[in-house]
Amino acid sequence: MDWAGFVLAGGQSSRMGRDKALLPFGGKSLIEHVAGVVEQAAASATIIGDPARYGSLGFPVISDIRPGCGPLSGIHTALTVSDAAWNLILACDMPQVSPAFLLSLIDRALAGSAGCVIPAGPTGKPEPLCAAYHRRCLPAITTALDRNVYKIMDAVAGLQPDIWRVPESSCFQNVNTPRDWACYVNG
């Protein structure tokens, strides 16, 4: 299987008020949990973020090539450094993501011909930070960044992404605020 896995941890966590990647989760940090799930599905997990902050977590860490350009830059970095044709790329703040869901995402990507597969829940809103990207997306993403286009869906629109409608979006629901986190932790 020609896959690699990446977890993005380059955000400022301004709405959370502290680094959400390092929130305690099941005896480890949230990012360690997400990276472990990604590793189970893709057989590897590399963190795109600050090596000084995340280097002790047991996963390879690579600095963002274009810091300050948002998550699209993290995807760009992942595709630039990856040797794999296909890449699972997730945000670090999805506590309910599962290997089974990611394996279904992989199967969907392998069965189709799109350059990326992006899940969308019942509302139809795509979640491009829990998606599969082929390396052939790299030129379009590079061009978007060069043109100061930072919205992921705008950057990949010309690639005709496969928007994969799934009946439940909880597996790729992210936590952005202390209230989101409290709701998740306290059920």
Q: How far is CA 115 from CA 71, 110, 136, 154, in A?
A: 18, 10, 7, 14
Tell me the mean pLDDT in the region 74-101.
96
pLDDT tens digits, 30-61: 999 999 999 999 999 999 999 999 999 999 99
Question: Could you give the number of structural domains in the chain?
Answer: 1
CATH number at residue 54: 3.90.550.10
Q: Are 168 and 98 contacting, i.e. CB atoms less than 8 angstroms apart?
A: no
**Owning domain of residue 126:** 3-186
What is the pTM (predicted TM-score) of this model?
Answer: 0.94
What is the C-alpha separation between 43 and 183, in angstroms, rounded?
A: 31
Q: From the CB of residue 113, how many other CB atoms can be counted at a distance below 10 Å?
A: 8
